[in-house]
Structure 1
Amino acid sequence: MLDGMDPHLLRTYVTVARLASFSQAARELGYTQSAVSQHIAALEQDLGAPLLTRRPVVPTPAGERLLEHAGPLLLRLDAARADVVRIAAAPRHGLTLATTPTALAPAVLAALPPAGVVLRVLTRAEIPAAVATGAAELGLVDGLAAPSDPLRLPDVAPLTTHGIAEEPVSVLLPARHPLAGRTGLRLGDLRDARWLDAPDAALPLAQAHPATAGGAFRPALRYEGTDLRTLTALVAAGHGLALLPRSAATGATGTVAVPLTAPRVVHRTELLHGGAPAGAAGEVVRGLLSGGTGRG
């Protein structure tokens, strides 16, 4: 991004590109359509390159490249604002916690205050941004990792993370699956199995690829939701296998959870926050950090 680029112009450009419409962007941003056009023209003049074709409204190659930079840059600006506001503001009595569906372990639920909590189930990619921009005071993310290794999280802002839980991983199969009676399964032996591609409900297959020495999985169905009941129903109906933490896999109707014996990975859950959490958020952090390790 060039020195002196106006973030208001950049935000207008991102909105126009996302909506593929000057008029819709004007309505969303609260500007006139003329003002939106002036913003785009000023940005194009500043960069010396056309960013959008007008009919249809589509980013040019230069515009596509700018979009790759714009998202992280704008997120950093929003995170900086939220961080400063967080320091200056009085502690909140309530708490918004952003979480994946598989990160809500019993210890987490026990640490929550009895009232004033809002739980937002988001995708793994959305949670760091939600915490960084102040949309949530705390975040819970999870995934596959070697024992005691931290998760690889996007660098959206200076956030502090704490490892708060690790548990075994299970392969969830239909109850009538030929492998349902096994006492353990090696992931490398399941390359030819039918899998559910459910990155936001199950543990992501993308995280399992390196663990199987590059062996490709064959997704039979893609599920883009976050509901665990829907995921387990799909497994029970024979649409594919899924990787889940043991606590989430056990007891689902019509399925069997078989322990994953190789590779040696665990389901790891990490707590995210910005700055020094206070109020209800601070109480939850203190309640969860017995034995946890933080990294910032």
Structure 2
Amino acid sequence: MDPHLLRTYVSVARLASFSEAARELGYTQSAVSQHIAALEQDLGAPLLTRRPVVPTAAGERLLEHAGPLLLRLEAARADVVRMAAAPAHGLTLAATPTALGPRTLAALPAAGVTLRTLARDEIPAAVATGAADLGLVDGLAAPSDPLRLPDVAPLTTRGVGEEPVCVLLPAGHPLARRPGLRLADLVDARWLDAPGAGLPLDRLRTASGTGGVRTALRYEGTDLRTLTTLAAAGHGLTVLPHGFAADVPGAVAVPLVAPRLVHRTELVYGGKPGGAAGALVRELTGPGATEGPR
């Protein structure tokens, strides 16, 4: 299967238009039509209806395969280019907001850094395809357990830190004076779902064993201050690393004691980083850091 034809097909299916796909890809509309016809002939199945432009059942199945296939091709190209290229003087770091703790920020080079805030599931792909030199991902895990990351390419992960987590409550909340909280204490609580700023609720739902973590408000931004302000104002509870939950005006951070979960941060990279990326890897990893291929 020709990857050029597959990329054309993905663009047409996503845009639901041959002409829009031609404009995006820089082809003529006739060339796009020829690409789709050639791919359909190769696979022996119609992939798109023409009016409207909608994937057939076979086309939908091909789309399920297309994303991972094209990503793997991009990752392979980036991996080879990375091996052949001289170490870059600058550094592009993709990270989630709560992965950027004081230790990480202190270790960053004084100049030449580009910091990209991305969703957790996007960071491995950004590193694999060369859009970022390094990635920092975080999440909730049992102590010493690795995070569950998307399998997009052969990448290396190293644990760079674990810390306790707290439930952030409004100062006037009935449970705010507790020395610790169990998830079972919060079965009727209303939660903030903030996948881009806080720690993901799906891990809490899994840990509860009941799925009873109820979303009151969904925040789709990446600003931690907005998230903590929403919690302090009573719009819902959130779980944050201890270092980010402490000293929030109008809120109280109470340790989550059961189930036993920690905030874990992992460094993600491909190959053997050199230059500024290699220096940061060495700075953040040390005795006791866990490493393994992904």
Matched, 1:47 2:68: no
Look up the SS of the partner of 1:209 in the other structure. helix
Matched, 1:71 2:39: no
Question: In 1, Cα distance between the equivalents of 2:177 and 2:158?
Answer: 37
TM-score by length of 1: 0.96
Question: In 1, Cα distance between the equivalents of 2:271 and 2:9?
Answer: 31
Matched, 1:150 2:146: yes
Look up the SS of the partner of 2:248 in the other structure. coil
Question: In 1, Cα distance between the equivalents of 2:200 and 2:50?
Answer: 38
Alpha-carbon shift at residue 253 of structure 1 (Å): 2.0
Matched, 1:187 2:183: yes
Alpha-carbon shift at residue 194 of structure 1 (Å): 0.5
Contact 1:188–1:215 at 8 Å: present in 2 too? no
Could you tell me which residue of structure 2 aligns to residue 22 of structure 1? 18
Could you tell me which residue of structure 1 aligns to residue 290 of structure 2? 293
CA 58–252 in structure 1, closer or farther in 2 if over 3 Å, else same: farther
Alpha-carbon shift at residue 239 of structure 1 (Å): 1.4
Q: What is the 5 A alignment of 1:151-166?
A: 151-166=147-162
Contact 1:172–1:244 at 8 Å: present in 2 too? yes
Could you tell me which residue of structure 1 aligns to residue 275 of structure 2? 279
Question: In 1, Cα distance between the equivalents of 2:165 and 2:48?
Answer: 47
Matched, 1:212 2:208: yes
Structure 1 residue aligned with 2:53, among 52, 57, 66? 57
Question: In 2, Cα distance between the equivalents of 1:90 and 1:58?
Answer: 45
Contact 1:191–1:215 at 8 Å: present in 2 too? no
Look up the SS of the partner of 2:89 in the other structure. coil
Contact 1:143–1:204 at 8 Å: present in 2 too? yes
Stretch moving more, 170-179 or 115-124: 170-179
Could you tell me which residue of structure 2 aligns to residue 91 of structure 1? 87
- State the Cα deviation string for residues 79-124 of structure 1 (Å, max 9, x = none): 0000000000111000000000000011111111100000000000
Question: In 2, Cα distance between the equivalents of 1:264 and 1:69?
Answer: 37
Contact 2:95–2:117 at 8 Å: present in 1 too? yes
Contact 1:175–1:236 at 8 Å: present in 2 too? yes
CA 66–258 in structure 1, closer or farther in 2 if over 3 Å, else same: same
Could you tell me which residue of structure 2 aligns to residue 231 of structure 1? 227
Question: In 2, Cα distance between the equivalents of 1:209 and 1:277?
Answer: 36
Structure 2 residue aligned with 1:263, among 259, 262, 284? 259
Structure 1 residue aligned with 2:119, among 120, 123, 142? 123
- Return structure 1 stretches of 4+ with deviation > 4 angstroms: none
Question: In 1, Cα distance between the equivalents of 2:177 and 2:52?
Answer: 57
Look up the SS of the partner of 1:11 in the other structure. helix
For residue 292 of structure 2, what is the amino acid of its counterpart?
R
Structure 1 residue aligned with 2:128, among 124, 132, 146? 132
Contact 2:182–2:259 at 8 Å: present in 1 too? yes
Q: May I ask how many residue pairs the two structures share in their alignment? A: 292
* Structure 2 gaps, min length 5: none
Look up the SS of the partner of 2:120 in the other structure. coil
Question: In 2, Cα distance between the equivalents of 1:185 and 1:193?
Answer: 12
* Structure 1 gaps, min length 5: none
TM-score by length of 2: 0.97
Could you tell me which residue of structure 2 aligns to residue 203 of structure 1? 199
Question: In 1, Cα distance between the equivalents of 2:5 and 2:155?
Answer: 27
Stretch moving more, 154-163 or 182-191: 182-191
Structure 1 residue aligned with 2:102, among 96, 99, 106? 106
Stretch moving more, 196-205 or 114-123: 196-205
Contact 2:182–2:256 at 8 Å: present in 1 too? yes
The share of aligned pairs that are identical, in percent, is 77
Question: In 2, Cα distance between the equivalents of 1:182 and 1:61?
Answer: 54
For residue 135 of structure 1, what is the amino acid of its counterpart?
A
Contact 2:204–2:213 at 8 Å: present in 1 too? no
For residue 92 of structure 1, what is the amino acid of its counterpart?
A
Question: In 1, Cα distance between the equivalents of 2:39 and 2:175?
Answer: 59
